[in-house]
């Protein structure tokens, strides 16, 4: 983390896969600069359990090979009540498949496996290795342009 990014250690906010979308007040994370922190999100994330209050994950989770790992790590590092804002192209349109670096493919129903009370999570979480447990705050699935559909959602960590 650079000295020029003023981030209170008691209120860590992450902007994952930031590329050139550097956000003030966030620890901007990517595989290369200009990120504040260079980190490989395919590995264990470098934040302590329950140390993060908010995560912005715009157009990053589809670049990571394991949905379960990504969601479990986001949940692990979030505080109870911490928010994950996720935005991914879905398989309902061309966006999921057009970028040659996409390696996981999302549908509007994928979050059901991570949301408390949903039959998919309640039935399969233990068997699939899902520890993440969220409450759904908001979700919108819409076409943004040229037959590209996005799921934009906010979920809250339940600990």
Q: Which two tokens stand for residue 116?
A: 């408390």
Percentage of the chain modeled with pLDDT above 90: 93
Q: Is residue 121 part of a domain?
A: yes
* DSSP code at position 126: H
What does residue 78 show for φ and ψ, rounded to 5 degrees?
-75, 145
On whether residue 54 sits in a domain, the answer given is yes
Evaluate if residue 146 carries a pLDDT over 60.
Answer: yes
In a domain? residue 39? yes
146 domain-assigned: yes
Instruction: Determine contact, residues 142/159, Cβ cutoff 8 Å.
Output: no
- What domain range is 123 assigned to? 12-157
Q: What is the pTM of this model?
A: 0.92
47-100 pLDDT, tens digit each: 999 999 999 999 999 999 999 999 999 999 999 999 999 999 999 999 999 999
* Residue 2 belongs to a domain: no
Number of separate domains in the chain: 1
Q: Is residue 53 part of a domain?
A: yes
Tens digit of pLDDT for each residue in 11-45? 899 999 999 999 999 999 999 999 999 999 999 99
Task: Report helix, strand or coil for 54.
Answer: strand
Strands in the chain per DSSP E: 12-16, 27-30, 37-38, 52-58, 78-89, 134-145, 148-157
CATH of the domain at 139: 3.40.50.150
Dihedral pair phi/psi, residue 121, rounded to 5°: -70, -45
Does residue 106 lie in a domain region?
Answer: yes
Residue 1 lies in a domain: no
- Residue-wise pLDDT tens digits, 99-123: 999 999 999 999 999 999 999 999 9
């Amino acid at each position: 983390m650079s000295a020029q990014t003023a981030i209170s250690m008691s209120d860590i906010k992450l902007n994952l896969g930031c590329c050139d979308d550097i956000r003030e007040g966030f620890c901007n994370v990517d595989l290369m600069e200009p990120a504040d922190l260079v980190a490989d999100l395919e590995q264990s994330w470098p934040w302590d359990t329950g140390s993060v209050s908010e995560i912005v994950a715009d157009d990053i989770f589809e670049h990571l090979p394991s949905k379960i790992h990504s969601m479990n790590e986001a949940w692990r590092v979030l505080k109870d009540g911490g928010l994950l804002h996720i935005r991914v192209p879905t398989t309902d349109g061309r966006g999921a498949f057009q970028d040659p670096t996409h390696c996981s493919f999302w549908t509007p129903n994928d979050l059901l496996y991570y949301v408390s009370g949903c039959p998919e999570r309640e039935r399969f979480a233990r068997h699939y290795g899902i520890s993440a447990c969220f409450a759904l705050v908001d979700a919108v699935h819409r076409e943004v342009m040229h037959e590209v559909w996005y799921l934009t959602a906010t979920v809250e960590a339940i600990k």
